[in-house]
C-alpha cells in the first residue's frame, strides 16, 4: 500500500488553503494500480473543495522498484545538484539507522530523477519485466 501523508495545498485558482491526502512512497510490487498515474506524472491528484479545481502536485515521491533492488526519488524540483545531493544525504541517513538497513542499502541502487520521461522509461521497463 502506498505511503501517504496529509499536505496543505493552496489552490492555484481561488487561493483557498486546504488539506489533502498525498502519496509519499510507492512500492511497485504492491501498488500496481498506481503505475498508470505514475507514468503520466499524475500520482498526486488533488481537488480544491471550494472551486473544484483539479491539480497534479509537483512533489517528490519515493518509488521502490522491488524486486529490482532499485529505489528512485522522483522530484521534479531536483534539477540542481544541491537538491539531488540532499536526497542522497537523506537516504544515507535512513540506511545508517541500523545494520540491517545498511545491508539493504549496500544491495540497493539509489537514484534521484527530475525528468518525467526518465521515470516513464523506468516504469515501462519494470512493468514489461514484471507483468
Per the structure, the complete domain to which residue 37 belongs is given by 25-42+58-130
Query: Model confidence over 70-106: pLDDT tens digits?
Result: 999 999 899 999 999 999 999 999 999 888 888 888 9
- The partner residues of 5 in beta bridges, in order of sequence, read 22
How many structural domains does the chain have? 1
In a domain, 51, yes or no: no
Task: Give exposure, 116-126, as e/b (b: 16+ Cβ within 10 Å).
Answer: beebeebbeeb
pLDDT above 90: residue 13: yes
In a domain, 5, yes or no: no
Res 31: pLDDT: 84
Query: Model confidence over 31-72: pLDDT tens digits?
Result: 888 888 887 777 888 999 999 999 988 888 999 998 999 999
In a domain, 95, yes or no: yes
In a domain, 53, yes or no: no
Residue 7: pLDDT band (50, 70, 90) is very high
Res 22: pLDDT: 93
Amino acid at each position: 500500500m502506498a505511503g501517504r501523508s496529509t499536505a496543505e495545498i493552496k489552490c492555484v485558482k481561488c487561493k483557498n488553503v486546504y488539506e489533502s491526502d498525498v502519496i509519499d512512497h510507492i512500492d511497485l510490487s504492491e501498488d500496481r494500480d498506481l503505475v498508470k498515474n505514475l507514468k503520466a506524472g499524475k500520482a498526486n491528484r488533488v481537488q480544491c473543495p471550494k472551486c473544484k479545481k483539479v491539480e497534479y502536485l509537483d512533489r517528490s515521491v519515493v518509488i521502490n522498484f522491488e524486486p529490482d533492488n532499485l529505489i528512485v526519488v522522483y522530484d521534479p524540483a531536483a534539477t540542481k545538484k544541491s537538491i539531488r545531493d540532499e536526497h542522497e544525504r537523506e537516504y544515507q541517513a535512513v540506511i545508517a539507522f541500523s545494520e540491517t538497513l545498511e545491508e539493504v542499502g549496500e544491495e540497493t541502487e539509489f537514484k534521484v530523477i527530475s525528468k518525467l520521461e526518465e521515470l516513464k522509461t523506468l516504469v515501462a521497463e519494470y512493468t514489461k519485466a514484471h507483468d
